[in-house]
């Protein structure tokens, strides 16, 4: 595992980006030439663009940095991006539409994607609903999507509505110090204090000398009222035709293997790699991620 605090180059060379969508502004960070072929880096639930700073550091030391531009976005309601308008509960399909819409507005006809967890679920869906749009996909700790059996539809909707109601009564928690916020983020993850601090750095706002609050919209915690069935997800996955590689952390989520058992036969080009690390393996083993991705690009251009 190559976890390290030596990310100064990536942090120093990160350029801010902002894209206007139909509901607000999505912000993020970029590395590499502005005219380079875009690589979208899509983070997981309640993370932010700093999730890809370690990967960016490895990217800057690779040949990819001469020809490609790495763009790490903050999803809606995360990091520095705008929150969705009041009354919106962040339905999953809207994340997919945000990326599709961004590609349309930017004129990106062929994009490469590195994505983690929720971001990888969205990338899986994008590659299936618009196969010609995605040139290659490296998915980290996520394959397919979280599914609901048809028999649980009414239960899920009921739980989702109750979750919305409860969330309306809540306020985002406050912390007396940055250290407290970092500790809380570490306890909610599977990583070191160093990684937690990196995520908190972009995900926190200071309201007073002893008052900190995470930027993430509280509505992100609302349970999904409706999920797709396994059959619907399989229909989307079967349409993916780009090179597709999946990275699993050796200490990652078991549900990834369950998804592979269910849907892997529908994506015959899928290649699976196991790297040392947990669910945030891309932050713990970034050089291996960039090495795998660079090989994908080389084969694509071969």
CA 205 to chain centre: 21
User: Which alpha helices (DSSP H) does 61-192 contain, by range?
Assistant: 64-67, 92-106, 118-129, 153-168, 178-187
For the segment 45-76, what is each residue's pLDDT rounded down to a tens digit? 999 999 999 999 999 999 999 999 999 999 99
pLDDT computed for residue 302 by the predictor:
72
List Cβ neighbours of 302 (8 Å cut-off, separation of 6 or more).
Answer: none
Residue range 163-197, pLDDT digits in tens: 999 999 898 899 999 999 999 999 888 888 999 99
Burial profile 205-232: b = 16 or more Cβ within 10 angstroms, e = fewer: eeeeeeebebbbbebbebebbebbebee
Residues across the chain:
302
Span 230-259, mean pLDDT?
Answer: 96
Strand partners, 49: none
Task: Return the H-helix or E-strand segment holding 112.
Answer: strand 111-116
Q: Which pTM was predicted?
A: 0.95
What pLDDT is recorded for position 2?
42
Span 8-147+228-301 CATH architecture: 3-Layer(aba) Sandwich (3.40)
Identify the pLDDT of residue 3: 44
Phi and psi angles of residue 137, each rounded to the nearest 5 degrees, phi first: -140, 125
Domain boundary assignment for the chain: 8-147+228-301
Share of the chain above pLDDT 90, in %: 92
Task: Please provide the average confidence, as pLDDT, over all residues in the chain.
Answer: 95
Confidence tier at 1 by pLDDT (50, 70, 90)? very low
pLDDT at 5: 56
In three-state secondary structure terms, 81 is coil
Main-chain phi, psi angles of 129, to 5 degrees:
-85, -20
């Amino acid at each position: 595992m190559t976890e390290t605090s030596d990310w100064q180059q990536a942090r120093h060379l990160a350029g801010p980006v902002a894209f206007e969508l139909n509901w607000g502004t999505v912000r993020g960070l970029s590395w590499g030439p502005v005219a380079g072929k875009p690589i979208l880096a899509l983070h997981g639930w309640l993370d932010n663009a700093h999730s890809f700073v370690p990967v960016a550091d490895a990217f800057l030391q690779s040949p990819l940095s001469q020809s490609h531009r790495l763009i790490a976005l903050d999803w809606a309601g995360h990091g520095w991006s705008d929150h969705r308008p009041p009354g919106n509960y962040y339905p999953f399909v809207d994340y997919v539409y945000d990326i599709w819409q961004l590609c349309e507005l930017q004129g990106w006809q062929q994009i490469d994607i590195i994505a983690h967890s929720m971001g990888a679920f969205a990338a899986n869906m994008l590659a299936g609903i618009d196969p010609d749009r995605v040139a290659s996909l490296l998915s980290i700790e996520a394959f397919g999507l979280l599914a609901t059996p048809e028999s649980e539809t009414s239960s899920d909707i009921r739980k989702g509505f109750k979750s919305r109601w409860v969330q309306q009564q809540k306020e985002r928690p406050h912390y007396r110090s940055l250290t407290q916020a970092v500790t809380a983020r570490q306890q909610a993850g599977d990583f070191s204090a160093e990684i937690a601090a990196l995520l908190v750095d972009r995900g926190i706002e200071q309201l007073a000398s002893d008052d900190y609050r995470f930027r993430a919209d509280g509505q992100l915690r609302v349970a999904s009222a409706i999920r797709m069935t396994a059959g619907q997800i399989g229909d989307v996955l079967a349409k993916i035709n780009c090179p597709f590689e999946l990275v699993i952390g050796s200490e990652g989520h078991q549900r990834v293997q369950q998804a592979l058992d269910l849907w892997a036969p529908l994506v015959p080009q899928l290649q699976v790699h196991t790297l040392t690390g947990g669910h945030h393996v891309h932050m713990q083993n970034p050089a291996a991620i960039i090495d795998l991705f660079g090989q994908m690009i080389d084969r694509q251009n071969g």
